[in-house]
């Protein structure tokens, strides 16, 4: 629902840009895999879809470094499934994001 959107935009004038920037690092493939067996992740996926709809933005990778980040996070997911070490992929993804968080 968009009833409060004008107020939110006045209080948070960069809300669209902030969601779009953070959303460049979303790995939708991983989210879909997680949502398959877990309702909490399915709810998060639905909320992301709602954010896109309400704010009129597209969330997902756009630039080559976003794609590289997606690849590293896919590696992390797959290595977790195989019970393999994924520390190097975590650091490489963080380096691309310029954030460990």
In order, the DSSP letters of 41-96 are: HHHHHHHHHHHHHHHT---S--SHHHHHHHHHHHHHHHHHHTT---HHHHHHHHHH
pLDDT of residue 7: 94
Statement: residue 2 has pLDDT above 70: no
Q: In angstroms, rounded to a whole number, what is the distance separating the alpha carbons of residues 12 and 55?
A: 13
Mean pLDDT of the chain: 96
**Per-residue CA distances from 78 to 11, 23, 58, 74, 82 (Å):** 40, 21, 26, 6, 6
Range of the domain at 44: 5-97
Specify the pTM. Answer: 0.87
Q: In angstroms, rounded to a whole number, what is the distance separating the alpha carbons of residues 51 and 83?
A: 33
**Total structural domains within the chain:** 1
């Amino acid at each position: 629902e968009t009833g409060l959107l004008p107020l939110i935009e006045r209080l948070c004038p960069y809300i669209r840009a902030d969601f779009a920037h953070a959303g460049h690092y979303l790995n939708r493939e991983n989210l879909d895999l997680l949502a398959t067996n877990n309702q909490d992740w399915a709810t998060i996926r639905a909320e992301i879809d709602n954010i896109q709809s309400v704010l009129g933005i597209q969330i997902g990778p756009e630039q080559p470094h976003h794609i590289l980040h997606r690849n590293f996070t896919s590696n992390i997911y797959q290595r977790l499934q195989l019970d393999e070490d994924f520390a190097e992929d975590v650091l490489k993804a963080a380096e691309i994001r310029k954030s460990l968080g």
